[in-house]
């Protein structure tokens, strides 16, 4: 546990009992990632930005960078205070796959992920699925059932996206808080079962 | 860039795209205390201590009084890039104004089942 520079005599603040954890919500552009985060977050989702060229490459020397054109990538996130000791952050990863895959910091230490898919554009979710599979990050696939979208059952979706049997597939409507909450519950139950199954699998 | 703080339009105008590292005086930070996007920080010096600090330092210190905030939240509230906020927060840790707590380093260890259960219980209660 990293916790330094604490001066017990200064101020009344303490961090010793507090932990922050994160879950990721990934998927293609416009699939409803921010909507899902909004549905369950206790705060209005916030947006943060990072310089594209600094992602995935650690820290580099930026002397003189002010004169260069800077590309940034934004991500939206929400917060759920689980209890006085645990704060959960939900990060909706940027819609442009090629950007967020560079964002190593985002996936390192993540408890797990939701891959949000749209049955009209299932192939948009392949990149996210491959990413989490290759990183050994446990995930579930949540299918956002848009109005007017053809309704598939779980088995059809599972076959279409070619995921292993033990990866849960959950149909949802991310505009609905209860439905979005159910997605998170399903993910966390999956994470529990993976964790209690013993050896953390590196591949699915 | 701190002069002219009374010019509201100047304060509002420059966004993160315009001056990504102007507030850090061009530094990208070599020693960032292993700050992560969800590293929590909290002020351990009273708000009065912001007198004499640069505006951005003061802003951070004020928003972290008695309630921990993540680097991501500070970045969002200030409209500054994550990397820039890490430099500023790092300075405030160095100067003893903030303390911080980073998440455990990696996913290589086995998941903390008690922690997962707590998160699951919390989400169920939403």
Q: Is residue A185 part of a domain?
A: yes
Full domain range(s) for residue A184: 19-56+68-196
Q: Is residue B62 part of a domain?
A: yes
For residue A131, pLDDT beyond 80: yes
pLDDT of B26 reads 62
Q: Is residue B115 part of a domain?
A: yes
| Residue pair A141/A170 in contact by the 8 Å Cβ criterion | yes
- Using DSSP, state whether A75 is helix, strand or coil: strand
Sheet containing A139-144, strands listed edge to edge, beginning at the edge strand earlier in sequence: A46-51, A72-83, A86-92, A19-27, A112-118, A139-144, A169-172
Q: Is residue A138 part of a domain?
A: yes
Please, which pLDDT band fits residue A137 given cuts at 50, 70 and 90?
Answer: very high
| Residue pair A95/A29 in contact by the 8 Å Cβ criterion | yes
Q: Is residue B1 part of a domain?
A: no
Give me the number of domains chain A comprises: 1
Asked if the C-beta of A197 comes within 8 angstroms of chain B's C-beta atoms, the answer is no
Q: Is residue A127 part of a domain?
A: yes
CA distance B82 to A72: 10
Whole-model pTM?
0.81
Q: Answer whether A1 sits within 8 Å of B104, measured CB to CB.
A: yes
Q: Is residue A37 part of a domain?
A: yes
Query: Which residues, numbered 16 to 45 in chain A, qualify as contacts with chain B under a Cβ-Cβ cut-off of 8 Å?
Result: 16, 18-22, 40
Q: Is residue B3 part of a domain?
A: no
For residue A11, pLDDT beyond 50: no
CA distance B96 to A128: 41
Please, which pLDDT band fits residue B115 given cuts at 50, 70 and 90?
Answer: very high
Query: Which residues, numbered 106 to 165 in chain A, qualify as contacts with chain B under a Cβ-Cβ cut-off of 8 Å?
Result: 106, 108-111, 136-137
Contacting residues of B for A72, CB less than 8 Å apart: 16-17, 20, 81
Which residue in B16, B105, B111 is closest to A49 by CB distance? B16
In terms of Cβ atoms closer than 10 Å to its own Cβ (0-12, 13-18, 19+), residue A106 is buried
Closest chain A residue by Cα to residue B29: A59
Residue A104 sits in a domain of what CATH number?
A: 3.40.50.300
Query: Which residues, numbered 167 to 196 in chain A, qualify as contacts with chain B under a Cβ-Cβ cut-off of 8 Å?
Result: 177, 181, 184-185, 188-189, 191-192, 194-196
| Chain B contact probe: residue of A14, A41, A49 with most B CBs at under 10 A | A49
pLDDT of A176 reads 94
Distances (CA, A) of A71 to A18, A49, A57, A92, B23: 34, 10, 15, 19, 18
Q: Is residue B2 part of a domain?
A: no
For residue A182, pLDDT beyond 50: yes
Q: How far is B68 from chain A (nearest CA, A)?
A: 7
CA distance A175 to A144: 9
**pLDDT (tens digit, 9 = 90+) per residue, A46-88?**
999 887 765 544 444 444 444 445 677 888 999 999 999 999 9
Q: Is residue B41 part of a domain?
A: yes
Give me the number of domains chain B comprises: 1
- Of A106-110, A138-142, A198-202, where does mean pLDDT reach its minimum? A198-202
**pLDDT (tens digit, 9 = 90+) per residue, A15-33?**
888 999 999 999 888 899 9
Mean pLDDT of B5-34: 54
**pLDDT (tens digit, 9 = 90+) per residue, A90-99?**
999 876 656 6
Full domain range(s) for residue B103: 8-124
Q: Answer whether A66 sits within 8 Å of B20, measured CB to CB.
A: yes
Q: Is residue B108 part of a domain?
A: yes
Please, which pLDDT band fits residue A177 given cuts at 50, 70 and 90?
Answer: very high
pLDDT of B40 reads 96
pLDDT of A119 reads 85
**pLDDT (tens digit, 9 = 90+) per residue, B76-112?**
999 999 989 999 999 999 999 999 998 865 555 567 8
**pLDDT (tens digit, 9 = 90+) per residue, B44-78?**
988 788 788 889 999 999 999 988 999 999 999 99
């Amino acid at each position: 546990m990293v916790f330094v520079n604490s001066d017990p005599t200064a101020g009344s603040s303490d961090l010793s009992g507090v932990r922050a954890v994160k879950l990721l919500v990934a998927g293609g552009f416009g699939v409803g990632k921010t909507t899902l985060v909004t549905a369950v977050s206790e705060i209005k989702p916030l947006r943060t930005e990072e310089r594209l060229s600094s992602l995935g490459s650690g820290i580099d020397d930026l002397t003189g960078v002010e004169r260069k054109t800077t590309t940034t990538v934004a991500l939206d996130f929400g917060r759920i205070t689980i209890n006085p000791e645990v704060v959960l952050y939900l990060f909706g990863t940027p819609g442009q796959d090629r950007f967020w895959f560079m964002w190593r910091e985002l996936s390192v230490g993540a408890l797990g992920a939701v891959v949000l898919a749209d049955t009209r554009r299932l192939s948009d979710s392949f990149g996210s699925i491959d990413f989490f599979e290759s990183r050994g990050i446990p995930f579930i696939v949540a299918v956002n059932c848009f109005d007017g979208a053809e309704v598939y059952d779980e088995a059809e979706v599972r076959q279409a996206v070619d995921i292993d049997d033990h990866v849960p597939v959950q149909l949802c409507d991310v505009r609905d808080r209860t439905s979005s909450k159910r997605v998170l519950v399903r993910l966390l139950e999956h994470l529990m079962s993976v964790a209690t199954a013993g050896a953390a699998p590196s591949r699915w | 860039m701190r002069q002219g703080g009374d010019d509201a339009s100047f304060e509002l105008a420059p966004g993160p795209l315009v001056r990504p590292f102007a507030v850090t005086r061009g530094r990208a930070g070599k020693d960032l205390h292993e700050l992560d996007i969800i590293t929590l920080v909290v002020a351990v010096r009273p708000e009065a201590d912001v007198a004499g600090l640069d505006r951005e330092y003061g802003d951070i210190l004020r928003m972290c009084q008695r309630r921990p905030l993540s680097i991501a939240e500070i970045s969002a509230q200030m409209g500054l890039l994550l990397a820039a906020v890490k430099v500023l927060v790092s300075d405030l840790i160095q100067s003893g104004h903030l303390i911080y707590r980073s998440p455990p380093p990696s996913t290589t260890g086995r998941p903390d089942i008690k922690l997962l259960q707590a998160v699951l219980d919390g989400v169920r209660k939403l």
